[in-house]
Chains A and B, each alone.
Chain A
Amino acid sequence: MSCVVIATAGTYGDLIPYLILGQALHAQGHQVRFAAAPSCADLVRRAGLGFHPCRPDINPALARRRYADWDHWSGRPVDFDPNNIDLPAYFSDCCQACAGADLLLCAPGQLAGELVHEYTAIPWLSLTVTPALFSGCSRDDASHRAMQQLLADRLNGFRRHLRLAPLPPTAYANARMASHIILGASRHFCRPAATFADAITQTGFWFGQSPSEQAWQPDPELEAFLSNDPPPLLLTFSSQPVADQAAVVARYAAAASALQYPLLIQAGWTGLGNHLAPGLLAAGTVMLAGHIPHDYLFPRVAAVMHHGGIGTTARALRHGRSMLVEPYGNDQFHNAMRIVQLGVGAAIHPHRATVASLAWLLREKVLTGTCRARAVALGAALAAENGVRDACQMINARL
């Protein structure tokens, strides 16, 4: 039995697949310990895995408070304050989590991974579910270069403190990876650019039942709503915050009404629909919900309207649902691009969307027989993969 530490920093789209992988490693006899944000503790412990709190702490309150930073359409220069990156804290937390570990599996969001590996000599692999990182696309403008320089200064300053050799600024974009990377994202969705081919082992998405889903049961009201004919459209932004929840909900609800589809809204981190008075929902064409396991929900909806996060994207693909994506930032743009290129959905600009344009895109591009058939075919291809098994094989080979 080996001790494996999985260090992750991100939202549930990152955490859940890692939890599923962690559970599989645990089932194979390994001791698995998560180094993750304190807000993840409950979920990790419910999965029966070890937990050590580790900064940075990305959580719903932070996302809501800094919603503008999560919207990259604003055209602002890159807003990056290296002082917000508390490397000594990340390093200290991650080092403690790695005490006695045989292998560190590190997500790119955890900037201290490489430092911990070099300082402790614990072998490491990079672990990611974000194929956008290897798309070959990268921004090269003045603000981005300035951000890289600031980050390099920050990292090298701390490397000197640890008596590690500083690296040239060109070594840093924002974070760095091990020379071996496991990418948990189906090749049917996208393949890494050739530059990365030698470094990456690509497996299917890491699907499985997350701990919060194991004892979950739908209530009768939800079951009845999902039994509508036609089935409802689903609006879910997961961890993506938005500036004006009421406007987003109003837009999607009106578009759904125009197409005569019921609408199910998942509140997510941003609290979509929480502003609505119960009386407004009396007509029964809109329903609000909190957490519902996507494996239960997605097969029961007509289409998924979401922000383009990789977790939601992967589940919708697996269940053969066509999608309308409203991307705001990060890898959401790449995921939206792939969804459009694969012909399994459409993408809309968050700040140009109207009721009429939403309805038009849904009717003409998302709810068509062609788009739905492509989504079903892609779902079947994904179902034939076993990403968790393949990732475990690679990890076991390193232990």
Chain B
Amino acid sequence: MKYKYKVGCSIENLKGVRDFIRTSLKNHGISDLEVSEMVLAMDEMCSNLMIHAHDCNPNEIFELHILVDKDDPVVFEIIDEGTAFDINQFKEPTMDNIIHEKRKGGLGIRLVKSIMDSVEYEQQRNKCICRLAKKVNFN
């Protein structure tokens, strides 16, 4: 199954992103806890993109695709025009730095890397696809 969602880059739309993911993954026999982890990781990815790549401009739009098939890893694709912010190139600050220098930025990326099995980027002409995958248990 493939699910698609278009979203404008306002952080007010993050709630809609989370609801889209929860609804899409609802009837596939994935545990609530695993769904909630993927919702969290994708919220972090989308809020990063909205804030850092699009300055929260609601007129700039990206697409979120979810591919879910029994016994395969769940795959999320963020399809965006423009250049990627590659989280694999980003060195997260240590927890000490986050506390003492109040660097709130690194926490989200730390969550994404802890939750997802892989994060890959593909540049296609004027599009950038960020693909995240997670192996889950299907009941």
| A and B found bound together | no
Could you list which residues of chain A lie within 8 angstroms of chain B, going by C-beta atoms?
none
Could you list which residues of chain B lie within 8 angstroms of chain A, going by C-beta atoms?
none
